[in-house]
Chain A
Amino acid sequence: MKPTKVTNHIRALRFAHDEMTQAELGEHIGMTRQTVIAIEQGRYAPSLETAFLIAKVFNVPLDEVFQYTEGEQP
């Protein structure tokens, strides 16, 4: 069971941005690599501020990074 219904495309976006590592993304947003992994895997829903920071790192709107799904998790 995943504790959040928030899904994301962070992994794809990282690869589209020069194969940015999880540690590098973590440095950009002030989080640990483990937290980035947890966000990517849907085990942790970041705060709104962190979500905006992630979108800003990839220079895309928030809803291109995160989606809210009521149904089955991908």
Chain B
Amino acid sequence: MAVQEQNAWAMLVIGVVAVGVYLTLLLISLDGSGITTVAYQPLMLWTIGGAIVVGIAANILITIRANVAGEREKPDQRDREIERFAVSVSQAFLVIGGLAALLMALAEWEWFWIANALYFGFALSGILEGISKVTAYRRGVPW
């Protein structure tokens, strides 16, 4: 498996775990007074920060392992095409999240919903990018 594909798998798994952890902690914090009263900010920031740190560590480990095994290869045309394809697919969620947050702000919704719309826009975009990359590496770019 190419280094780029391993990185795509790592990012996908980390993205799914990060969202799962955030949702679990959010639901555990519910105390019956409504979800918007939960102190979501530290949960969100810690899961985002944690995902970034684990993502960087995974990238470093994958690169070191590939170097030791002599498998490190420069990304080629196919890697760049897959990257472009995955980014173009995943951008839809960024737009949806941004638009949802904009509409919520215009309607003067609580900050909880606006922050979470943006968070899930970014998170789902990252997950979709990972799924697109892994699928493209396994089955090919559909063009």
Identify the A interface with B (CB < 8 A): 1-4, 26, 30-35, 38, 42-44, 46-47, 50
Contacts and interface: CB of A to CB of B under 8 A. Distances in A.
What is the interface of chain A mostly: helix, strand, loop, or mixed?
loop
Contacts of A32: 2, 73-76, 78-79
B142 interface: yes
Contact of B142 (A3, A31, A50): A3
A31 B78 contact: yes
Interface of B: 1-2, 5, 73-79, 137-143
B140 A47 contact: no
Given A32-B2, A34-B2, A34-B5, A50 B77 contact: yes
Candidate in B77, B79, B142 with the most chain A CB atoms within 10 angstroms = B77
Given A1-B139, A35-B78, 4 more contacts: A30-B76, A32-B73, A44-B78, A50-B77
A38 B5 contact: no
A33 B137 CA distance: 13
B140 A44 contact: yes
Contacts of A30: 76
Nearest to B75: A32
Contacts of B5: 34
B143 A47 contact: no
